[in-house]
Chain A
Amino acid sequence: MSGYRLPHGGSHLDRSRPLAFRFDGEPMQGFAGDTLASALLASGRVLVGRSFKYHRPRGVMGAGPEEANALVELRNGARQEPNTRATMTELYGGLEAASQNRWPSLSFDMMAVNDLLSPLFSAGFYYKTFMGTGQATWHFCERFIRKAAGLGRGTHLADPDRYEKTNAFCDVLVVGAGPAGLMAARAAVAAGLRVILADENARPGGRLFDEGVQLDGLAPAEWIDGALREIAAGGGRILPRTSVYGYFDGNVLGAVERVADHKRKPAPFEPRQRHWTIHARHVVLATGAIERPLVFSGNDAPGVMLASAGLAHATRYGVAVGASVVVFANNDGGARTAIRLADLGMSIKAVVDPRREIDPALAAALGARGIRLETGAVVAATRGRKSLAGVDIRGFDPVSGVLGANVMQPGCDALLVSGGWTPSVHLASQAGSAPVFDEALQSFVPGTAREAWTTAGACAGTLDLAGCLAAGLDAGRTAARACGKTAENGEIPLPELSGTLAGTDLPFPLFDVPATGGAKRFVDFQHDVTADDVDLANREGFCSVEHLKRYTTLGMAADQGKTSNVNAIALMARARGLTAPQVGTTRFRMPWTAVTIGALAGRETGHHFAPVRRTPMHDWHVAKGAEMMAAGLWMRPRAYIAPGESLRDAYIREASAVRQRVGIVDVSTLGKIDVQGPDAGEFLNRLYTGGFAKLPVGKARYGVMLREDGIMFDDGTAWRLTPNRFLVTTTTANAGAVLAHMEHYLEVVWPDLRVHVTSVTDRFAGMAVAGPEARKVLQAALEEGDVSPEACPHMGIVRGRIAGEPVMIARLSFSGELAYEVYCDWPAGLAVWEALIEAGKPNGIMPYGMEALGTLRIEKGHITGAEMDGRTTLADVGLGGMASRKKPYVGSTMTQRPAFVDPERPVLVGLVSRDGRAIRAGSHLTLPGGGASLGHVTAVTWSPALGANIALAFLSGGRDRHGEPLEAAFPLKNERVAVTVTDPCFYDPDGSRMHV
């Protein structure tokens, strides 16, 4: 017998609605309103999990977000979710949960051997054991360690649920709907402000439910419902089940609403969770406080619980957490909790308090209920391993801290512990406020606000109910003033309180009890960090709070040390002979509680992750068998694969057709920028390495832009359409970057230049017609216009009409063949494309894709992004002649630096495979037989024109090595291909084929 359901009570419970659920396969029952933790406790379940490192048996220790022990795998299949806090999991019919971190079963866990080996697993275990032993030792041991020390298992199945993201704007965001938060929200609503009240529990109200008081003659639950109705009626938005997890710059806060986590599965079209980005003019932080455990031998035994959790389980869920209870506290809250629980019908054996005396009214009330009070005493140890069997109570000298004689060793199945309260300063800390130590609280409270926030209630260190209500009202008024309301707005009365018990929750400064009998004294329950680990870290010099955290992993578990930080700081302070504020605390980082990736991703998953851009000829490509590939956001044909063909067959057929007859390729994705203004020529002259100021109207020119550091940035062409207007093309990948580059120079560097730039990438569709018969095909398609060599010489621009649509044609070649780029209005792209295909039929025109385009350009030694990789210069790729010496341009001076003129720089070369095997992209070049890398391969293809496997590569001193035999090594596949170095232009080196 341990926990059980009380015959009455439970503000959250609907006893008319029993719910069946399973834990580790065992059928159990709870009621609507239960959490998984309360239902397990009511069923007499004590052992619910195994600890992270030592696999110690653990039970429920909390009743809210602080839970460090009762972590379960919730649901199964694609919805299986590890490390779910049983205290925050609302019970639903058919819930399935499993204990985790145990093998083969919870009660018989083989891995508990770790506990016996614990000297091996002390602080700094990984560093000491594996540093210096070499990588091999680590790799061998890693899989065993990872199996032994881990928490729950996730799933590899795709998440079947929907997640949403939304923004909200408000005057006042109140975080936490306990007594302070409710009053603050009421006041802000009364002042006529737009209010959002977020609370992470299913039912707002916080610890007010647990107070045995009346407010204006109402029980807490009734008063809370009234307050919520008033807030909603005043236009306030109440978000239950919503954890505000992050405080970002500019008073922007992140929150996750668990819309359907309390259901077996979401209703149709209902999101599982919703992420809120809340923009608030003012924030009221009413985040409350979390009770601190005390550190003593065996303080992690299942059945040891925070006093506030024992009380909450009784008041909210009608659960007695034990049949025989001892309370151990360093403040009057322990006695008050004992009195409340006794009045709810529970059997309380003793209250143990290290102080010489407690509040006399409370002492009398304990006596009246027959509860034994042991002052000047502590719980020094626990008995029982898988469930608490009893405690050892010893005398204690509060001045010297020395343990005295045995007082008694009562049997009990629950021990409720209170070491005082730790304000939840996380959000304020995230917002850049360094927490300040409060001597009376023996804890940290939020420091000076740097964003627009106000704290109220226990979060600010106010622990009594009347004080919290008043502080909430005050914070609501402060928020109203911050939003421009006057003092008379937001005037609401404070509720009249009756039935409050005497005493104070301010603690006597006791954090730990000296060790007895060698049992571990836990500080961080979730990461299994003990008081000895803190001492060890200090002895080994990891005594700053930042080092302590990382060396012991204290506070680095999923609970971020909610119950452990202050105790750890106090222990370290004592070890170092300092005060807690001198030791200080680490800055809290978001998130306050774990946030699922699904909530952050929202709907942006799968093909909604990024937009897809299609050219006007997209459907034509697909209909003609094109295998499409992503090029950034664009979809482009890779090759048009005929039935029975492989990808390789297809691109060889396509590339051969371009060399022998004529081909057509969709180049609509190229970046296009309209550059206009009286200084347009001067502007391009400064950006490109070549001269553009004197480019005649009606001519295009190839150009390369450098970065300011002299490295190549992008290449393309500029067409001079009028004296003041150029059409600039960029690579597909750099369209956005080149536009931003131009805008930077026009606005920041040379604002005097009279130039305007506009992206016209998807204003014009483009297609390139290439091959010996390109002119014939184009002329046949043209209804108006002349592309004869006289009218349209190499790099010439002419206008015409195809399929009734105006077109602009430039004679440019990327393939090395006679070629024309044809641009038309975007919506006309398909009509012009089809007209060219039709006109080219007698010539056997062949559409070609990215693979053939790549083959053709490699055969010519033309560069793309694979060669402009952010490390290469014009000279490296053999375009040194394009660097004008007549004018300065962006990057020109920087190319004079020594490393740029180093003769050993890798430069562009060609490679031909000598043994017929394909060369692998990314291979490194070595001398035959191996040795140091001399360079690397950037692009490879089978060249139909040469009948050989060829590649482009960067090779140190490569211009002097043409003809040399080398090896292209790819160690990952253990491949070495014999190659000969050649000129990077494999085909038609004098360019005669395009000058016809």
Chain B
Amino acid sequence: MRIHCPCCGPRGVAEFSYGGDGTVRRPDLSVTDTDAHVAYVFERENPRGPHVELWHHIGGCRHWLRVTRDTLTHEITSVEMAGRFAGEAARISGAGA
């Protein structure tokens, strides 16, 4: 499996570490409602199909990436930078490229 890092290009999955569900949003620091934090830490969908997840390019640029990956086929359809460079996306050409 390879991930197209918008910063480094297509790289082997061994360079990345999985960072979990990319759809959850941390409650604002000012939120002191325990339920909101419990939902953020523990509650996850388990979709069959496309899923946005976080990957950390620890063996490369060390950026965090938002990867859209199909949990059924493992196909990756988009990779975007998280954070300051959000919206910077990798160009993914055909399968296996």
Task: Check: A249 CB closer than 8 A to any chain B CB.
Answer: yes
User: B30-62 interface mask toward A, CB cutoff 8 Å, 1 = contact, 0 = none?
Assistant: 111110011011100000000000101010001
Distance in Å: Cβ of B97 to nearest Cβ of chain A: 7
B79–chain A nearest beta-carbon distance, Å? 13
Docked CA distance A157–B17 (Å): 36
Tell me the minimal C-beta distance from A333 to chain B in angstroms.
36
Which of A691-699, A744-752, A808-816, A935-943 binds B? A744-752
Rounded to whole angstroms, the CA-CA distance of A281 and B2 in the bound complex is 13
A248 at the interface (CB under 8 A from B): yes
Q: Which residues of B contact A889 (CB under 8 A)?
A: 29
CB distance from A836 to the nearest CB of B (A): 35
Q: Does A983 contact B (CB under 8 A)?
A: no
Question: 0/1 per residue, A442-469, Cβ < 8 Å to B?
Answer: 0000000011100000000000000000
Q: How distant is the Cα of A749 from the Cα of B56 in the complex, in angstroms?
A: 14
Whether B89 sits at the interface, judged by CB under 8 Å, is no
A893 touches B34 (CB 8 A): yes
Q: Which residues of A (885-923) have their CB < 8 Å from a CB of B? A: 888-889, 893-894, 896-897
> Are A450 and B73 in contact, CB atoms less than 8 angstroms apart?
yes
B86: chain A residues at CB < 8 Å are: 751
Q: Roughly how many angstroms separate A748 CA and B86 CA in the complex, as a whole number? A: 9
Q: For residue B14, give the distance in angstroms from its CB to the closest CB of chain A.
A: 10
- For residue B41, give the distance in angstroms from its CB to the closest CB of chain A: 5
Complex CA gap A8/B37 in Å reads: 81
- Please provide the chain A residues from 276 to 307 with a CB less than 8 Å away from any CB of chain B in the complex: 279-282
A893: chain B residues at CB < 8 Å are 27, 31-34, 37
Instruction: Type the 1/0 row for B84-97, where 1 means its CB is closer than 8 Å to any CB of A.
Output: 10100000001111
CB distance from B25 to the nearest CB of A (A): 9
Flag whether A251 is at the interface (Cβ < 8 A).
yes
In the bound complex, CA of A517 to CA of B86 (Å): 75
A832 to B56, CA, bound (A): 37
* Minimum Cβ distance to chain B for residue A773 (Å): 43
Any B CB within 8 A of the CB of A388? no
Interfacial chain A residues near B83, Cβ < 8 Å: 746-748, 751
Contact A743 B56 (CB under 8 A): yes
CA distance A748 to B52 in the complex (A): 13
Q: How far is the CA of A748 from the CA of B55 in the complex (A)?
A: 11
Question: Which residues on B sit within 8 Å (CB–CB) of A708?
Answer: 26, 37, 40-41
User: B38, A748: Cβ atoms under 8 Å?
Assistant: no
Determine whether A46 belongs to the interface, using a CB cutoff of 8 Å to chain B.
no
Asked if residues B30 and A248 are in contact (CB atoms below 8 Å), the reply is no
Q: Is A217 an interface residue, CB under 8 A from the partner?
A: no
A709 within 8 A of B: yes
Residue B9 lies at the interface, judged by CB distance under 8 Å to chain A = no
Whole-angstrom distance between the Cβ of A87 and the nearest chain B Cβ: 33
Beta-carbon contacts under 8 Å, A236-268 to B: 248-252
Beta-carbon contact of A740 and B37 below 8 Å = no
Q: Using CB atoms, name the residue of chain B closest to A894.
A: B37
Chain A interface mostly? mixed
Residues of B within 8 A of A355 (CB): none
Q: Are A743 and B64 in contact (CB under 8 A)?
A: yes
A750 CB to nearest B CB, Å: 9
Among B27, B33, B62, the one with the most A-chain Cβ atoms within 10 Å of its Cβ is B62
Chain B residue at smallest Cβ distance from A889:
B29
B37/A747 in contact, CB under 8 A? no
Q: A747-B64, A888-B32, A893-B31 are in contact. Are A451 and B95 (CB under 8 A)?
A: yes
Query: In this assembly, does A472 line the interface, its C-beta being within 8 Å of a C-beta of chain B?
Result: no
User: In the assembled complex, which residues on chain B have CB atoms less than 8 Å from the CB atom of A281?
Assistant: 96-97
Q: Please tell me if A85 contacts chain B, counting CB pairs below 8 Å.
A: no
| In the bound complex, CA of A248 to CA of B58 (Å) | 22
Check B29 against A894 for contact (C-beta < 8 Å). no
Q: A249, B64: Cβ atoms under 8 Å? A: no
Contact check, B84 vs A747: say whether CB atoms are below 8 A apart. Answer: yes
- Residues of chain A lying within 8 A (CB to CB) of residue B95: 250-251, 451-452
Residues of B within 8 A of A435 (CB): none
A432 within 8 A of B: yes
Nearest-CB distance from B72 to chain A (Å)? 8
- CA gap between A281 and B27 in the complex, in Å: 43
Q: Check if A686 is an interface residue, CB within 8 A of chain B.
A: yes
Contacts A250-B95, A894-B37; is A740 near B58 (CB within 8 Å)? Answer: yes
Rounded to whole angstroms, the CA-CA distance of A281 and B63 in the bound complex is: 27
A391 CB to closest chain B CB (Å) equals: 49
CA A748 to CA B67, docked complex, whole Å: 13
In Å, the complex CA distance between A888 and B27 comes to 12
Across the interface, name the chain A residue whose C-beta is closest to B1: A249
Contacts of B64 in A (CB 8 A): 743-744, 747-748
Contact indicator A432/B73 (Cβ below 8 Å):
yes
Closest to B42 in A: A709
| Alpha-carbon separation in the docked complex, A280 to B63 (Å) | 27
Residue ID in chain A nearest B94 by CB atoms:
A452
| Contact status B96-A894, CB under 8 Å | no
User: Are B34 and A897 interface neighbours, CB within 8 A?
Assistant: yes
CB nearest neighbor in B for A432: B73
Q: Taking the nearest CB of chain A, how far is it from the CB of B12, in angstroms?
A: 8
Contact status of A748 and B82, CB under 8 A, knowing A451-B96, A743-B56: yes
Bound: A450/B82 CA distance, A: 29
* Residues of the B chain whose Cβ atoms lie less than 8 Å from the Cβ of A740: 17, 56, 58
Chain A 725-767 near chain B by CB (<8 Å), digits 1 or 0: 0000000000010001001101111010000000000000000
Q: Is B84 a contact partner of A743 (Cβ separation < 8 A)?
A: no
CA distance A314 to B59 in the complex (A): 54
Q: Which residues of A contact B58 (CB under 8 A)?
A: 736, 740
CB of A280 within 8 A of CB of B96, answer yes
Q: What's the nearest-Cβ distance from chain B to residue A947, in Å?
A: 46
Task: Specify the chain A residue showing the minimal Cβ separation from B40.
Answer: A708
Given A280-B96, A893-B32, A743:B62 Cβ within 8 A = yes
- CB-CB < 8 A to B82: which residues of A? 747-748, 751
Asked whether A894 lies within 8 Å of B34 as measured between CB atoms, the reply is yes
Closest chain B residue, CB of each to CB of A167? B12
Determine the distance from Cα of A126 to Cα of B37 in the docked complex, in whole angstroms. 47
Q: State whether A282 touches B96 (Cβ < 8 A).
A: yes
Within 8 A of B (CB), among A337-359: none
| Interface pair B41/A747, CB less than 8 Å apart | no
Query: In the assembly, what is the distance between CA of A450 and CA of B31, in Å?
Result: 45
Query: In the assembled complex, which residues on chain B have CB atoms less than 8 Å from the CB atom of A749?
Result: 26
* CB nearest neighbor in A for B73: A450
Give A759's nearest chain B residue, CB to CB: B62
Closest beta carbon of chain A to B16's beta carbon, Å: 11
**Residues in chain B near residue A743, CB distance under 8 A:** 56, 62, 64
Q: Shortest Cβ distance from B51 into chain A, in angstroms?
A: 15
How far, in Å, is B9 (CB) from chain A's closest CB? 13
Give the nearest-CB partner of B30 in chain A.
A888
CB distance from B2 to the nearest CB of A (A): 5
Q: Which residues of B contact A432 (CB under 8 A)?
A: 73-74
Chain B residues lying within 8 Å of A896, measured Cβ to Cβ, are 32, 34
Q: With A and B bound together, what is the CA distance between A744 and B64 in angstroms? A: 7
What residues of chain A lie closer than 8 Å to B94, measured between beta carbons? 452
Q: Which single residue of chain A is at the shortest CB-CB distance from B83?
A: A747
26 contacts between A and B (CB under 8 A): A248-B1, A250-B1, A250-B2, A250-B74, A250-B76, A251-B95, A251-B96, A252-B2, A282-B96, A432-B74, A451-B95, A708-B41, A709-B41, A740-B17, A743-B62, A744-B19, A744-B64, A747-B84, A748-B83, A749-B26, A751-B82, A751-B86, A888-B32, A893-B32, A894-B34, A894-B37
Which 6 residue pairs spanning A and B have beta carbons closest together?
A: A251-B96, A747-B83, A249-B1, A751-B83, A747-B64, A249-B74
For the complex with contacts A451-B95, A744-B19, A894-B34, 17 further pairs of A-B residues with Cβ separation under 8 Å are A249-B1, A250-B96, A279-B96, A450-B73, A450-B75, A708-B26, A740-B56, A740-B58, A746-B83, A747-B64, A748-B64, A751-B83, A893-B31, A893-B34, A894-B37, A894-B38, A896-B34
